[in-house]
A and B are shown apart, each in its own frame.
Chain A
């Protein structure tokens, strides 16, 4: 999957590309895809997770539609635009701690 395309050049400072790595409820292989619509980079975490949930319910390229996705333990990473990647990026994925807490 390309990291950037020509349309990314037109992204505003407060917009971002949202990538989701989703683990289906049945324990199947992880699926990954970019939401086609731009999202606000500084949106609250809960809002971003809500957008991701809606995207998974509808299905996006790389992620099969799931009408009832389980978003337990999903987190949002924020990556601001920099010289080596001049596009704001958001990533929704499952957290991976170790331990007994």
Chain B
């Protein structure tokens, strides 16, 4: 089992998966360039720059907690949510946390700044890559 991330667009369509080296069943590491890639390659390899360069299209990022049961974000997850929400101001990004049995939808409350669960009946997009995300996490 291995954590995997999926960037999706405003309609829920898959933009790309992020499967960096060093992932585990409980962690997706931040990839950093130590001089092994060029400036124009950064978005292809580092999630931060991919989001920055494609911010006009991004609806959110889903990632797996590859086990059965309820899906809730960790403190590390929420810290990362904050970074990306800060990069794309004015848009309510969605942060699905996906287990093999559940999907927890989270977003930033614009009034309090806290991350809150969203009732799925209010989600207006179809996360097309959900099954593939789970498959890549097994």
Contacts and interface: CB of A to CB of B under 8 A. Distances in A.
B30 A75 contact: yes
5 contacts: A30-B89, A79-B37, A79-B39, A91-B42, A95-B30
Contacts of B28: 97-99
Given A30-B87, A95-B30, A96-B47, A79 B42 contact: yes
A100 B27 CA distance: 6
Interface of B: 3, 5, 24, 26-30, 32-35, 37-40, 42, 46-48, 52, 63, 74, 76-77, 79-80, 82-84, 86-87, 89, 113
Q: Lowest 5 A-B CB distances belong to which pairs?
A: A99-B27, A95-B30, A29-B89, A79-B39, A82-B38
Nearest to B20: A97
Interface in A66-86: 73, 75-80, 82, 84-85
A63 to B, nearest CB: 13
B84 A96 contact: yes
A89 B24 CA distance: 30
A30 B48 CA distance: 12
B26 A23 contact: no
Interface residues of A, number: 29
B76 A101 contact: yes
Contacts of A84: 38-40
Given A99-B27, A101-B26, A94 B89 contact: no
A100 to B, nearest CB: 4
B87 A99 contact: no
B35 A78 contact: yes
B37 A96 contact: no
B46 to A, nearest CB: 7
A91 B82 CA distance: 19
B27 A85 contact: no
